[in-house]
Amino acid sequence: MISPKIQDAINAQINAEFWSAYLYLSMGMHFEAEGHTGIANWFRIQFKEEQAHAEIFINYLLSRGGRVELKAIADVPTTWESPLAAYTDTLAHEEKVTALINNLYALAEAEHDYATRGKLDWFVAEQVEEEETAKSLIDRLKLIGDNGLALYMLDQELAQRVYNVPSPLAAKA
Cα–Cα distance, 79 to 167 (Å, whole number): 32
CB of residue 145 to Mg ion, shortest distance in Å: 30
Rounded to 5°, the CA angle 141-95-29 comes to 55
Cα–Cα distance, 152 to 147 (Å, whole number): 9
Pick 50 or 155: Cβ nearer Mg ion: 50
Q: Tell me the residue nearest to Mg ion as measured from the CB.
A: 53
Q: What are phi and psi of 76, to 5 degrees?
A: -120, 160
Stretch that binds Mg ion, among 23-31, 42-50, 110-118, 150-158 (CB under 5 A): 42-50
In whole angstroms, the minimum distance from the beta carbon of 127 to Mg ion comes to 8
From 38-46, 53-61, 81-89, 133-141, give the range in contact with Mg ion by CB under 5 A. Answer: 53-61
53 binds Mg ion (CB under 5 A): yes
How wide is the angle at C-alpha 49 spanned by C-alphas 45 and 55, nearest 5°? Answer: 145
20 vs 41, beta carbon nearer Mg ion: 20
Query: What's the full length of the chain, in residues?
Result: 173
- Interface region with Mg ion, contact rule CB under 5 A, candidates 51-59, 74-82, 113-121, 145-153: 51-59
Site map 86..125 versus Mg ion, x via CB under 5 A: ----------------------------------------
Residue 94's contacts (CB-CB under 8 Å, 6 or more residues apart) are 127, 130, 131, 134
H/E element, 166: none
**Contact positions toward Mg ion, by CB under 5 A?**
50, 53
